[in-house]
């Protein structure tokens, strides 16, 4: 399995902080001070190999991404088992909160959703093995390093996974433009799986049929929908809001 390229100061910093397995740090010749010095010092403190290279090498390796003078070569992102994620929630004495991405393929949306999921306290992200965006350097960059903190679970059949989660007591809520309930009126407390559909086509038919609730975001402007990451952010924080209200 080849090294994963981690690009940019924020992404590399979070990879170092999270304890991610990193094989080597590549730093642009001549750059000193500020966050670069902190990154280099952190890498050396962890006993990592730090190599200073010409900017041309970083440009080539980053494949168009803004590397900001630093690239880390890390082991590919680790995937977790569902039970590991649920154990994490139990250890925190929290109701489990999962995000299921129904065949999302746009790295911009996936990266942004991972970043928001981390901020909202999501315990794990479920992604189908087929027809999903790979967790590559682009996603890591867009997530600002959050991919290092939110465990990702690779799943097989989405519908079967939903049925298994429902059997475990989860409430499965799908985001759909034609949903039956405005999102702020739905019950988003308790063990929950929020399902976000693919760009353009939304949730698959069988996925819709197996959700306990389909919620919509009211639209008052000239366009009829939000992109996946914007819609997901609204719904993720509605879960946060409702959970907070229960503790008051």
- Confidence (pLDDT) at 3: 63
Counting every residue written for the chain, the total comes to 248
Report how far residue 195's alpha carbon sits from residue 211's, in angstroms, rounded to the nearest whole number: 8
> 225 or 173: whose pLDDT is higher?
173
Mean model confidence pLDDT for the chain? 90
The CATH homologous superfamily for domain 4-74 is Ribosomal protein L30/S12 (3.30.1330.30)
Report how far residue 7's alpha carbon sits from residue 153's, in angstroms, rounded to the nearest whole number: 23
CA distances from 110 to 84, 114, 157, 233 (A): 22, 6, 19, 12
Q: How confident is the model at residue 236 (pLDDT cuts 50, 70, 90)?
A: very high
Q: Do domains 4-74 and 82-246 have the same CATH topology?
A: no
Eight-state DSSP code of residue 191:
S
- Confidence (pLDDT) at 247: 82
CA distances from 21 to 16, 104, 148 (A): 8, 27, 11
Cα angle, residue 38 at apex, residues 22 and 61 outer, rounded to 5°: 45
Closest CA to 17 of 26, 28, 6: 6
Contact (CB, 8 A) for 32 and 69: no
Domain 82-246 fold is Alpha/beta knot (3.40.1280)
Q: How confident is the model at residue 221 (pLDDT cuts 50, 70, 90)?
A: confident
Closest CA to 114 of 136, 87, 92: 136
Report how far residue 147's alpha carbon sits from residue 127's, in angstroms, rounded to the nearest whole number: 13
Domain coordinates in residue numbering, the chain? 4-74, 82-246
Whether the pLDDT of residue 46 is over 90: the answer is no
pLDDT 10s digits, 28-42: 999 888 899 999 999
pLDDT 10s digits, 70-109: 999 886 677 899 999 999 999 999 999 999 999 898 989 9
Whether the pLDDT of residue 2 is over 60: the answer is no
Read off the pLDDT of each residue in 6-12 and give the average, rounded to a whole number: 92
pTM of the shown model: 0.76
- Confidence (pLDDT) at 18: 83
């Amino acid at each position: 399995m080849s090294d994963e390229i981690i690009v940019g100061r924020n992404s590399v910093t979070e990879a170092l902080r999270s304890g991610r397995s990193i094989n080597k740090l590549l730093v642009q010749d001549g750059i000193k001070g500020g966050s670069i010095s902190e990154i280099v010092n952190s890498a050396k403190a962890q006993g990592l190999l730090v190599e200073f290279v010409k900017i041309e090498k970083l440009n080539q390796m980053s494949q168009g991404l803004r590397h900001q003078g630093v690239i880390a070569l890390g082991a590919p992102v680790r995937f977790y088992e569902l039970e590991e994620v649920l154990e994490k929630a139990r250890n925190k004495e929290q109701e489990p909160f999962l995000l299921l991405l129904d065949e999302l393929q746009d790295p911009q949306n996936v990266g942004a959703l991972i970043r928001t999921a981390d901020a909202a306290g999501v315990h794990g992200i479920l992604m189908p093995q087929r027809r999903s965006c790979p967790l590559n350097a682009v996603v890591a960059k867009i997530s600002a390093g959050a991919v290092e903190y939110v465990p990702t679970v690779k799943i097989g059949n989405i519908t079967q996974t939903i049925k298994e989660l429902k059997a475990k007591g989860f409430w499965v809520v799908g985001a759909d433009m034609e949903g039956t309930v405005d999102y702020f009126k739905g019950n988003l407390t308790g063990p929950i799986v929020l399902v976000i559909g693919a760009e353009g086509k939304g949730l698959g038919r069988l996925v819709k049929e197996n959700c306990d609730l389909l919620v919509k975001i009211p639209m008052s402007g000239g366009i009829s929908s939000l992109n996946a990451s914007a819609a997901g952010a609204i719904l993720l924080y509605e879960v946060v809001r409702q959970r907070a209200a229960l503790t008051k």
